[in-house]
Structure 1
């Protein structure tokens, strides 16, 4: 059973992410948790909000959220690509990151699928602020779908790594089972000035190979010190249609996130981006 959480603000971008998730997991028995946190909407127009009318505004926003979720779920259920897909709606007067974090823990969610941007659609940034917060603070793999990206089944996945971290079996299994129904090739890319690996790196590389046993895996080496540039050039030259990175200590993605927010990533992402969080969950 695959458990997928999809946050929504009912925008076209959020709908696009939901459709992508349904297609990506069309061969798997899956539960989809469609989540709407509406606390920000209550306080959206401070000029009209008073202490006296706060309960009325809250009730109105709550009812609207629940109604739109019910409509969305009815529509998705009617168009499900797999009769073994089930849908749950969660509407809550909460902050999105807190709500998602709680559901991930309570329901043992496997993956979050979300759009890069919601209603604000700020084109100056690669990822919206909510997406960035979830990437940073929620311990669950996050698959980010770019604006206007039309679903195509993954065929060539890029997984850059420095082999320095002990990968989690659960998360590599997720990648394996996402890619295998589509017979997608996975390029595991090591970026370094030296191609020589330490014993720890060799062990971690072997573990990746063992866990991705259902997949066609190619181990590649690029000699470079500029990680972002090397990834960008590899994507351009190899028809990559999904990027996978691990967010943990000493990882490529942690360096990028800590540099000056992931929006400085010069990849101009136009493909799905999967951040594995290397969580401690079983």
Structure 2
């Protein structure tokens, strides 16, 4: 049974992510954890108040959040019901990233699914700041679903990679399970001016292909340019339904000097974006 974590701020984007996750795992026994982290709501408007007032505010917010989560589950269960799916609600007095990481570890979460924008973020922003933060710092695969993307089976999956990062078997199993379930083609997109691969790259490529041995995997190469633009062009020209990338740990200097491709794609992607974490779990 899969265990899926879905953070929600009760916005239309968050509800769309729940509906998408249900359809993606419609035929599979799945347990969904609906999470709301409310620390920002407690701290936001209150400054220089007594400890008693602060505790009262925190309790009031928690009661309101628990009530909204209960109503949300009732609504999700009814439209339409699926006996293979079960739900639980979690409300925590933490920041979103900390709350997600804690639940991921406590519940052994397989995948985090979330909307691309919160209810207070501008409509012109494709992926909001909370989504990008979860991409970068949560130690679990994260699937972000754009609000305007209507569900369809992921028949074509794009996986841009330089084959330099050793992959983790658990994350690759998640990808392979999806590809097998929907009889998808995994497009390995190698962005380089050179056709030859080093020994390290060949080993990582073989590992990836072995992990997806009963899936259809194709290999494509495109020349070096802006990676984000190359990936988005490939998505448009190949009818891609799902984009998959690996978020590896960069050095502090690289983080200061360069914006990561995951960040750039996260701000422009129009298809569901699955970020697999090459971080300790």
- The two structures have a TM-score, normalised by structure 1, of 0.90
Residue 29 (structure 2) aligns with: 29
Residue 275 (structure 1) aligns with: 275
CA distance, structure 2, for counterparts of residue 155 and residue 250 of structure 1: 31
List alignment gaps of at least 5 residues for structure 1: none
Secondary structure of 1:224's aligned partner:
coil
Alpha carbons of structure 1 residues 43 and 267: separation in structure 2 relative to 1, 3 Å: closer
What does the per-residue CA deviation read over 1:80-128, in whole Å, with 9 as the maximum and x for residues that have no partner? 5641211110011221111111111111111100011111122353322
Residue 177 (structure 2) aligns with: 177
List structure 1 segments (4+ residues) > 3 angstroms apart after TM superposition: 79-82, 123-126, 260-267
Q: How does 1:58-69 map to 2 (within 5 A)?
A: 58-69=58-69
Residue 110 (structure 2) aligns with: 110
Alpha carbons of structure 1 residues 140 and 263: separation in structure 2 relative to 1, 3 Å: closer
Q: How does 1:26-175 map to 2 (within 5 A)?
A: 26-46=26-46, 50-51=49-50, 52-79=52-79, 82-175=82-175
CA distance, structure 1, for counterparts of residue 87 and residue 207 of structure 2: 34
Following superposition, the deviation at residue 136 of structure 1 comes to 1.4
Following superposition, the deviation at residue 183 of structure 1 comes to 1.3
CA distance, structure 2, for counterparts of residue 262 and residue 46 of structure 1: 35
Contact 2:132/2:266, CA 8 A, preserved across alignment: no
Following superposition, the deviation at residue 264 of structure 1 comes to 4.0
Following superposition, the deviation at residue 223 of structure 1 comes to 2.1
Following superposition, the deviation at residue 145 of structure 1 comes to 0.7
Q: CA RMSD in A?
A: 2.5
CA distance, structure 2, for counterparts of residue 278 and residue 266 of structure 1: 17
Contact 1:242/1:274, CA 8 A, preserved across alignment: yes
- The two structures have a TM-score, normalised by structure 2, of 0.91
Secondary structure of 2:87's aligned partner:
strand
Q: How does 1:204-243 map to 2 (within 5 A)?
A: 204-243=204-243
Equivalent pairs, count: 278
Following superposition, the deviation at residue 278 of structure 1 comes to 2.3
Following superposition, the deviation at residue 226 of structure 1 comes to 2.8
Following superposition, the deviation at residue 143 of structure 1 comes to 0.3
Secondary structure of 2:148's aligned partner:
coil
CA distance, structure 2, for counterparts of residue 227 and residue 261 of structure 1: 7
CA distance, structure 2, for counterparts of residue 175 and residue 42 of structure 1: 38
